[in-house]
Structure 1
Amino acid sequence: MDFALLLVIAVAVTGVIWLLDALFWRPARRQRLADSAESGELEKMSPKAREKALKDPWPVDYARSFFPVLLVVLLLRSFLVEPFQIPSGSMRPTLTVGDFILVNKFSYGLRLPVVNTQLVELGKPERGDVMVFRFPKDPGVNFIKRVVGLPGDEIRYQDKQLYVNGEPVPKQLLETGPERAPEELLLKEQLGDVTHKIYNNPHAPGPQMRSVEVPEGHYFVMGDNRDHSNDSRYWGFVPEENVVGKAFAVWMHWNGGLPSFTEVRGIH
């Protein structure tokens, strides 16, 4: 289900009803009531019939109530901040299943909802950003990964080591068998100006990837859970037009049971 499309349709329908009522239907209703009052017909009506005659039709009443609310939600969601839920563990340990995140929609420019056409360019994805994008193989599905390659970069991944432009990305072992993932190694990685944590599994060979150059207008992305992430190593690059926004905060965690707000934090 494309929620953005449904929201746009709801705003359009309620907005058209509200506009038609303001321009044509309401003046016509008022004129009919004035004519009925002048002729005495209104006074002859039963209380129930009079109440019905004075009341706005239900579609108009609903449209007038919901249009401004839906419009504000559409504007906020399209141009400022949009909430998402993390459905998989590909971004562990940075993000876990059940995290509800906030995505900045204007970090990479203002885009029209549904069609995703950029109106104003305000910035570009940077190396190390945690980015939400529409999956190139199925644009109806949103993915979240970390940007590791910018246009023109040369990317290679071999023996669990990421190389950018021929240089190994610095990483440091923090813990063997951490409590939340006993089978993994917890490492700290320095990707551009961003320091973040990743998992590597010492018991699995993991993917090997020869050097590839990121085309213009595209990005190379990977999950922080390096041996358990369906990312650019398998299906290729993310086109600029598929970019949704930059994830910047976790505002709630819910994975069954009661929602928890103890995991509120920024995303790095």
Structure 2
Amino acid sequence: MQYTAIFLLSLLGVQVFTFVVWGLFLRLGLNWAKVPEITARKVVAATIVVVLLNNIVAAFALLTSWGSPALQIAAILGAFVITIIVPTVVVATTFKVSGWRAVQAWLPTLLSAVSGGLLVIFAYRPFIFETFVIPTNAMAPTIVGFHWQGTCPDCGAPTYCSPLEEGRFVHGPVNMICDNFHVTLSNSPEESVYGGDRIAVAKFLTPQRWDLAVFKFPQDPSVNYVKRVIGLPGEEVIIQDGGIWINGVRQQLPASLEGLEYVSEAEGRFAPDLWGTSEKPAMLGDDEYFVLGDFSAQSYDSRFWERGVDGHNPYAVPKSHMLGVVTTTYWPKDRWRAHK
């Protein structure tokens, strides 16, 4: 997928920027400390070692982010050692100087972290890519949040559902969805809680039909949602017979969604009438989108919304609330997937 490739190249670009800036500030620090016999080869060698070790610690932190507290503490201590102690030792060893002069040479490199942070905050995240951790399972099995797992009785594939809050009891079976979009009831999901997917979102893309989009929730813009874009600006959306009808024409699902059926009726005695049905079609304005979750039976999406942004339909996500398009699930490694 081309945008996943762009994401990976952008990460490489950030690494190159980090390498160059750290090396430049190290050179400045060496001059400040009046270190003799400074050569480009030594500066490059020291920079490679330090940047490589920083990446190892960052990878370890990612690996332990959903691990035991002991591992998380180890990651924090490792970051401290790599950030402060190791660069000083590397400089002292490479340039054959005392500990104090090595510290003096290292101090300006702290500015490289500042410049890197500014690059990420003011350029990379707002305009190129931003990463998110998924908390819920409305988009399961495509993207999962914190979840229980089970086994599908229909096909044997893994199933997913959201874990109940601690202290709550399961009253009867729970809805689960498998990798082949079979929705089944389970009385005995595995109660080990697994962490949520980490996704990369391209901020420069305009959402198209079937894209996964991250957006500000219209009823509370401080909360970010991720759903699948179904209806585009100016279209009429109807969910019928498990499928999507746009302006009266049934849409063919992408191959990756084969088996998915969308729900157009809510269960329960006092269930609300849903938007996007033949009785209540969703008519989108010129800058509005209609979104649905892949776990249709468990997703709170455009079908259910009762209050929208001022001047917009209650079921719509305004273009101004769109944050970007999901291109990649990059972690955990066994769920790595290119979406676009």
Deviations 1:3-51 (A, max 9, x none): xxxxxxxxxxxxxxxxxxxxxxxxxxxxxxxxxxxxxxxxxxxxxxxx9
Cα displacement (A) at 1:79 = 1.3
Amino acid at match of 1:73: V
Query: Which has the larger share of helix?
Result: 2
Q: Please report how far the alpha carbon of residue 71 of structure 1 lies from its aligned counterpart in structure 2 after TM superposition.
A: 0.8
**Does the C-alpha gap of structure 1 residues 135 and 239 become closer, same or farther in structure 2, counting only changes over 3 Å?**
same
Work out the CA distance in 1 between the residues paired with 2:281 and 2:296. 17
The aligned residue for residue 327 of structure 2 is 248
Mapping of residues 34-53 of structure 1, within 5 Å? none
Stretches of structure 2 lacking an aligned partner (at least 5 in a row): 1-99, 146-195, 268-272, 306-314
CA contact 1:200–1:227 (8 Å) conserved in 2 = no
Indicate the SS of the match to 2:303: helix
CA deviations on 1:102-142 (whole Å, 9 max, x unpaired) are 001111xxxxxxxxxxxxxxxx3211111111111111111
- 1:169 aligns with 251
Look up the equivalent residue of 1:135 and give its one-letter code. F
Q: Which residue of 2 aligns with 1:139?
A: 221
> Displacement, 1:65?
5.3
CA pair 158-219 structure 1, distance change in 2 beyond 3 A: same
Offset of residue 229 of structure 1 = 0.7
TM superposition shift of 1:78: 1.4
User: 1:214–1:237: 8 Å Cα contact kept in structure 2?
Assistant: yes
The alignment partner of 2:207 has SS state of: coil
Contact residue 243 and residue 261 of structure 2 kept, 8 A: no
Equivalent of 1:91, from 126, 139, 151? 139
Contact 1:131 1:145 (8 Å CA) reproduced: yes
How far does residue 158 in structure 1 lie from its aligned partner after superposition?
3.5
- 5 Å-filtered alignment, 1:148-163, equals 148-163=230-245
* Cα separation, partners in 2 of 1:198 and 1:134, compared to 1, 3 Å: farther
Correspondence 1:266 to 2:313: no
Q: Counterpart amino acid of 1:149? A: G
1:69/1:242 CA distance change after superposition, 3 Å? same
- Cα separation, 2, equivalents of 1:91 and 1:264: 15
Matches of 1:77 and 1:146 in 2, distance apart? 21
Q: Would the alpha carbon gap of residues 227 and 198 (structure 1) be closer, same or farther in structure 2, given more than 3 Å must change?
A: farther
Superposition map of 1:39-118 within 5 A = 64=111, 66-74=113-121, 75-97=123-145, 98-107=196-205
| Deviation (angstroms), 1:64 | 4.0
Give % identity: 33
When normalised by structure 1's length, the TM-score is 0.55
Secondary structure (helix, strand or coil) at the match of 1:68 reads: helix
String of CA shifts for 1:155-181, please: whole Å, max 9, x gaps: 1123533221112334xxxxxxxxxxx
Q: Which has the higher strand share?
A: 1
Q: 1:79 to 1:205 in 2, by over 3 A?
A: closer
The alignment partner of 1:140 has SS state of strand
**Cross-structure match for 1:17:** none
Where in structure 1 are there 5+ consecutive unaligned residues?
1-50, 108-123, 171-188, 254-260
Code of the aligned partner of 1:101: I
2:304 alignment partner, SS class? helix
- Note if contact 2:239-2:262 (Cα within 8 Å) is conserved in structure 1: no
3-state SS in 2 of match to 1:67: helix
Q: Return the alpha-carbon distance in structure 2 between the equivalents of residues 142 and 237 of structure 1.
A: 15
Rounded Cα–Cα distance in structure 2 between residues aligned with 1:266 and 1:76 = 20
Larger radius of gyration: 1
Task: Indicate whether 1:226 and 2:272 are aligned.
Answer: no
Runs of 4+ residues deviating >3 angstroms: 60-66, 158-161, 197-202, 204-208
For 1:215, which of 285, 299, 314 is the aligned residue? 285
- Kindly indicate whether the alpha-carbon contact (under 8 Å) linking 2:243 and 2:262 is maintained by their aligned counterparts in 1: no
Work out whether residues 329 and 336 of structure 2, in 8 Å CA contact, stay in contact via their aligned partners in 1: yes
Higher relative contact order (CA closer than 8 Å, sequence separation 6+): 1
